[in-house]
Chain A
Amino acid sequence: MKKAILYINQFFGQIGGEEKADFAPEIREGLVGPAMELQKQLGEDVQVTHTIICGDNYMGSNTEEAINTILGFLEGKEFDIFFAGPAFRAGRYGSACGHIGKAVKEKFNVPVISSMNEENPGVEMFRSDIYIFKGGASAAAMRKDIKKMADFGKRLLNGEILNSAEEEGYYGRGIRRQVWLNPPVTAADRVIDMLLKKIHGEKFQTELPIPEQDRVPIAPPIKDLSKANIAVVTSGGIVPVDNPDRIQSASATRWGKYDVSEFDRLESGVYKTIHAGFDPAVANANPNVIVPLDVLRQYEKEGKIGKVNEYFYSTVGTGTTQGEAARMGKEIVEHLKEENVDGVIMVST
């Protein structure tokens, strides 16, 4: 007998509506609310042993605490699969399902299945972390959505061969894998078919969709460099040796700003790189190869630039998703504006 645990919010957990959205996490033995339908759909081979309930606002404003509490509940419990939701179009609920689902998958290494409507912001936030099935807009779709989650969960637990995201009905996780077409159609046949459709203006489906590009136009040149405040921003992972902001060495979600107004260069042993994507020997011996403070100070003295900004900004680029990078970039820009920075040298590695 395989075991499953379900996460739901305060509303579906029958605690209450918006007024109870601050409800702290609880774990209950057995089935609460949607867990009953989930149990019915999973059938006899999988038992839903517990239901976890948490208020959407509680998860939203105390995310780390809520996650830690729930992970604590799960410690020592036997379960083979974790479900969250379905969350329909409820944004906070979707985000909560994603947060807890991602944490559970990382800690316990079990498959996590949720369901959300395409307009739920949780989809874009967590689709690459967990299986999120395409769900209805409201609780009217409860049964249908739970059935999809349960059917896929059973197939996963049975070790069946799984089809692509589109065929299974979940939002693609950004994982591209080689498959054999069934029935087999050769690339020669496919290319002719696609070509004829393209020529005749008929609809065709590329096999390699090009992601939408989000290009930022190149900024106009700085008119007078000798008056400009220049900052360095890097994805090369240069930080004070104790890494005070705990920036991750890969797949970073954090960044840091460091005051260098008192220094003429970054000293080895005081600064280092925590980037895991290249050999750090050279950068650790001389951090200025990534954050060129030494040269910028010289330019400052020579009057080539107005000044070097008080702070430099750093994160790690390796494995970091475009989404996280864009978020961090937007956050950093606010600081740069406050500091009246005129130009930025972006150093990648």
Chain B
Amino acid sequence: MKLELGNFYVKDIVFGEETSYSNGILTINKEEALEVVREDEHITEADLFIVKPGDKVRLVPVKEAIEPRVRVEGGPVFPGVTGELMQAGNGRTHALKDCSVLVVGKHWGGFQDGLIDMSGEGAKYTYFSQLKNIVLVADTDEEFEKREQQKKNRALRWAGMRLAEYIGSCVKELEPEELEVFKLDSITKRSKDVNDLPSVVLVLQLQSQMEELGYNDLVYGWDTNRMLPTFMHPNEVLDGAVISGSFMPCSSKWSTYDFQNYPVIRRLYEEHGKTLNFLGIIMSNLNVALEQKERSALLVAQMAKSLGADSAIVAEEGYGNPDADFIACIVALEDAGVKTVGLTPECTGRDGKSQPLVTLDPKADAIVSTGDVSQLIELPPMETVLGELESLARDGLAGGWAGDEILGPSVREDGSIIMENNSMFCGDQVVGWSTKTVKEF
């Protein structure tokens, strides 16, 4: 399987006559773009904004981030989701780099939604403050979940994906500034040099805890709650086969943009043939029942062993209950003789003294920690808010609250906020961006 990613580095984004890309300038015809958003009759209100690093803008409730792309030889960017099923990870895809489409609720947020500050102290908590962003602020008629803490955010998330495809389509015929090639030979057809290197599988534990369909990550459009661990080519993940769900405290979520750019996959590609033999990805999940957790761990270990993996990296999308899956999977791999390193956020509580994961095992002796979800963050008011600031306090965002006897409400009258890291949009960056860790004090 060979994926060619043609990159266009966006230096600025402006609204204009024709949606187009030229010399680093991405121009968007706002009306045309909004028409694409409104293709879904459930979208009741929609507007577009452009925000850049350093802007005095706060975005909340942020629901999704997507990199604008186009499949050059035709077909949907997200097979099985925005169009027919087809093989992802093969052929040519063009991408607009250093930018993302952000989807923000005009009013209503939920447990899974987050916050982004484009400047100031808050900017360091999310990756997306470094990007130029096309921000869709919209509302829907999905009355059934308007006041629910758990939201599927279906209309908004799909609108974001359509918008990303629409914007990405402007570079379909253009010559990319950079071409990256991602190619792995079939596992049994690799050269001796590669085969002699220590082999590694990447185990991704996708968020799939909701029994009801519509909240979990999708693999080729298939709900990961209904999935058993399966083997995937890393190119499939980089090329739109997996989309983010709408569940879990926001900081520990992986956005669709995160999947499209997955830094650990890219690092494994860099090492492939030099220090490691990258076998591929075992795609697993995070379900709630103990039997489901054990079944997944068992299958992951079996697959790693059958593939002849000497080592594994396990990354969990979430924390708390999923820690049980994470530790069980590491233990199963270690028991199968696969040397394993884990990637996870921690939850140490307001006083920092809680056990960092809900289960621990001495066999999990190599863990990279990407931060603490429970860290308190206090931020001054921001000049402009896109979305609705009150949602942080009102709508049950994982790191916000309406009232606290010591801390007061998350959103204060002057627009300043106090929150837990939990609600920083995809802030834990377990996918590999994180330059944070956790240390003992």
Give A residues with C-beta under 8 Å from B: 128, 162, 164-167, 172-181, 184-192, 194-196, 198-200, 204, 206-208, 210-213
Contact = CB atoms under 8 A, between A and B. Distances in A.
Contact of B439 (A164, A186, A210, A211): A164
Given A179-B438, A187-B433, A199 B366 contact: no
Nearest to B372: A178
A189 B271 CA distance: 11
Interface of B: 124, 198, 200, 263-264, 266-268, 271, 275-276, 310-311, 313, 339, 341, 343-344, 346, 348, 351-353, 356-357, 360-362, 364-372, 375, 421, 429-441
B441 A208 contact: no
B361 A173 contact: no
Given A162-B441, A175-B440, A210-B362, A188 B266 contact: yes
A191 B370 CA distance: 10
B366 A198 contact: yes
Contacts of A162: 441
Nearest to B377: A178
A179 B438 CA distance: 6
A179 B441 CA distance: 11
30 contacts: A165-B440, A174-B352, A175-B441, A176-B440, A178-B372, A178-B421, A179-B439, A181-B436, A186-B432, A187-B343, A187-B429, A187-B432, A188-B266, A190-B437, A192-B264, A194-B366, A195-B313, A195-B339, A195-B341, A195-B366, A196-B275, A199-B310, A199-B311, A206-B367, A207-B369, A207-B438, A208-B346, A208-B369, A208-B438, A210-B361
A177 B352 contact: yes
Nearest to A181: B435
A153 to B, nearest CB: 16
Contacts of A177: 348, 352, 372, 375, 438-441
Given A177-B348, A207-B438, A186 B433 contact: yes
B440 A164 contact: yes
Nearest to B432: A188
B33 to A, nearest CB: 33
Nearest to A207: B369
Contact of A208 (B310, B356, B375, B434): B356
Contacts of A189: 267
The listed residue with most B CB atoms (<10 A of its CB), out of A172, A191, A199, is A191
Contact of B441 (A164, A180, A191, A213): A164
A256 B440 CA distance: 34
Contacts of A194: 341, 366, 368
A173 B433 CA distance: 29
A213 B362 CA distance: 8
A186 B375 contact: no
A180 B432 contact: no
B368 A210 contact: no
Contacts of B200: 195
Contact of A176 (B264, B276, B348): B348
Contacts of B366: 194-195, 198, 204, 206
A179 B267 CA distance: 23
Given A188-B267, A206-B366, A206-B367, A176 B372 contact: yes
B432 A176 contact: no
A164 B198 CA distance: 34
A-B CB proximity, top 10 nearest = A188-B432, A164-B439, A184-B435, A172-B440, A175-B352, A178-B372, A188-B263, A208-B367, A207-B369, A176-B348
B264 A188 contact: yes
Contact of B430 (A128, A165, A187): A187
Nearest to A187: B434
B435 A210 contact: no
Contacts of B421: 178
B362 A207 contact: no
B328 to A, nearest CB: 14
Nearest to A213: B362
Given A172-B441, A181-B436, A184-B435, A207 B352 contact: no
The listed residue with most B CB atoms (<10 A of its CB), out of A167, A177, A211, A213, is A177
Contacts of B124: 180
B237 to A, nearest CB: 14
B437 A191 contact: no
A212 B275 CA distance: 33
A186 B440 contact: no
Contacts of B431: 188
A210 B436 CA distance: 19
Contacts of A187: 263-264, 343, 368, 370, 429-430, 432-435
Given A188-B263, A188-B266, A208-B369, A165 B433 contact: no
Contacts of B365: 206, 210
A24 to B, nearest CB: 35
B261 to A, nearest CB: 11
Contact of B198 (A128, A199, A213): A199
Given A186-B435, A187-B368, 18 more contacts: A175-B352, A176-B356, A176-B440, A177-B348, A178-B421, A179-B436, A181-B435, A187-B435, A188-B267, A191-B313, A192-B268, A192-B271, A194-B368, A195-B366, A196-B276, A208-B367, A210-B362, A210-B365
A164 B439 CA distance: 6
A120 B368 CA distance: 32
A211 B364 CA distance: 11
Contact of A191 (B266, B343, B433): B343
Contacts of A175: 348, 351-353, 440-441
A181 B437 contact: yes
Contacts of B432: 186-188, 191
Contacts of A186: 263, 432-435
A211 B264 CA distance: 27
Nearest to A182: B435
A189 B434 CA distance: 10
A128 to B, nearest CB: 8
